């Protein structure tokens, strides 16, 4: 059953049953609601294609794990979720349990399940207020220490309210070189098509991970509507994956890059891979704030 949170000028629809996701965020524009996220009209379609649409949680890893295998403390582990590279974690298509719903606050939790070698869970908290949506996530261990990462995967509409192509600013010092959609381990200074400084995305098809964020905030502008959305990330080592398609842009706040397990196993520093222990969860925060001034 869907859960709706409301505040002045905005309302959010959540689907605990379909992956604990933020299904849609509506902003009030000229007296009507406009959808900020690309999402199916029927939330049940999230079951048929859970990777496309809304804003869903990724845990206990974000994005890809090379060949669905990783090694930790001398043991090999296999992750199976039906794809060449294990993709987007284990909780995005699972039912979540609502543990709190008070006013404009919603909390949910989901076990990591049998597909993960260790007992653990993922917890989310959302608070909707005037001009903001605050999100928190934790990956928790029940018994043993284990490596983990997490993130959210929002599908933001590129031409929101027919306002023209979105402009994205990512204040990153570096991005991960990639081959076959996975990082090689080298980090480079953004330039050319990888440099995101508020220019229209145009026809660029992006799938890049950025780090060294200063400040740790990504900005979106839909200039014809004069709408600005800021996504502020709180993590030990904030990362952002940017994936652009013809009709959406996914700017994914993460604690680590794709294949962080493999990068860390090679001894590469700064991957953001966390060790989760009982009482010491991995934490990620993201606060969306928006300003809508209307056309000039």
Query: What CATH number is given for 3-292 in this structure?
Result: 2.70.98.10
Given a cut of 80, is residue 295 above it in pLDDT? no
Look at residue 159 in the predicted model and tell me its pLDDT. 73
Given a cut of 60, is residue 162 above it in pLDDT? no
Tell me the mean pLDDT in the region 152-159. Answer: 92
Please tell me the distance from the alpha carbon of residue 217 to that of residue 243, in angstroms, as a whole number: 17
Look at residue 67 in the predicted model and tell me its pLDDT. 92
Question: 196: helix, coil or strand?
Answer: coil
Contact assessment for residue 189 and residue 196, using Cβ atoms and an 8 Å cutoff: no
Residue 92 corresponds to which tokens in the numbers above?
A: 């995005």
Look at residue 29 in the predicted model and tell me its pLDDT. 79
Which of the given ranges, 135-139, 219-223, 266-270, has the highest pLDDT on average? 135-139
Nearest residue to 239 (alpha-carbon basis) of 108, 58, 30, 31: 58
- At 141, which helix (H) or strand (E)? strand 132-141
Look at residue 164 in the predicted model and tell me its pLDDT. 64
Distances (CA, A) of 139 to 69, 116, 239, 261, 275: 20, 12, 17, 16, 10
Contact assessment for residue 264 and residue 271, using Cβ atoms and an 8 Å cutoff: yes
Look at residue 97 in the predicted model and tell me its pLDDT. 98
**What's the pLDDT tens digit per position in 62-105?**
999 999 999 999 899 999 766 688 999 999 999 999 999 999 99
Nearest residue to 182 (alpha-carbon basis) of 81, 276, 284, 69: 69
Please tell me the distance from the alpha carbon of residue 254 to that of residue 124, in angstroms, as a whole number: 14
Q: How far does Cα 104 stand from its chain's mean position?
A: 21
**What's the pLDDT tens digit per position in 2-59?**
999 999 999 999 999 999 999 999 998 777 788 999 998 877 777 778 899 999 999 9
Q: Domain-by-domain residue ranges, the chain?
A: 3-292
Using DSSP bridges, classify how beta strands 55-58 and 227-234 pair: parallel, antiparallel or unpaired. unpaired
Given a cut of 90, is residue 165 above it in pLDDT? no
Listing DSSP states for 83-102 in one string gives: SSSEESBSSTTS--EEEEEE
Please tell me the distance from the alpha carbon of residue 181 to that of residue 285, in angstroms, as a whole number: 26
In the chain, % of residues over pLDDT 70: 95
For the chain, what is the mean pLDDT?
92
């Amino acid at each position: 059953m869907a859960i709706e949170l409301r505040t002045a000028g905005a309302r959010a629809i959540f689907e605990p049953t379909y992956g604990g996701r933020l299904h849609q965020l509506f902003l009030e524009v000229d007296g009507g609601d406009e959808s900020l996220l690309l999402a199916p009209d029927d939330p049940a379609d999230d079951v048929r294609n859970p990777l496309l649409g809304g804003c869903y949680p990724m845990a206990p890893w974000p994005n890809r794990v090379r060949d669905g295998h990783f090694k930790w403390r001398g043991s090999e582990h296999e992750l199976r979720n039906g794809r060449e590279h294990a993709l987007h974690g284990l909780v995005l298509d699972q039912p979540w349990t609502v543990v709190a719903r008070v006013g404009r606050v919603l909390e949910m939790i989901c076990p990591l399940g049998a597909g993960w070698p260790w007992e653990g869970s993922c917890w989310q908290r959302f608070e909707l207020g005037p001009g903001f949506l605050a999100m928190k996530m934790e990956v928790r261990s029940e018994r043993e220490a284990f490596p983990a990462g997490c993130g959210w995967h929002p599908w933001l509409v590129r031409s929101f309210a027919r306002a023209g192509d979105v402009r994205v600013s990512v204040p990153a010092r570096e991005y991960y070189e990639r081959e076959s959609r996975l990082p090689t381990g080298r980090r480079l200074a953004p330039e050319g098509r990888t440099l995101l400084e508020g220019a229209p995305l145009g026809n660029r098809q992006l799938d890049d991970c950025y780090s060294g964020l200063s400040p740790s905030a990504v900005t979106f502008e839909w200039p014809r509507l004069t709408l600005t959305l800021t996504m502020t990330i709180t993590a030990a080592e904030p990362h952002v994956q940017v994936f652009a398609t013809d009709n959406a842009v996914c700017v994914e706040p993460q604690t680590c890059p794709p294949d962080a397990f493999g990068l860390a196993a090679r001894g590469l520093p700064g991957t953001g891979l966390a060790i989760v222990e009982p009482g010491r969860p991995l934490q990620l925060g993201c606060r969306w704030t928006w300003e809508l001034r209307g056309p000039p």
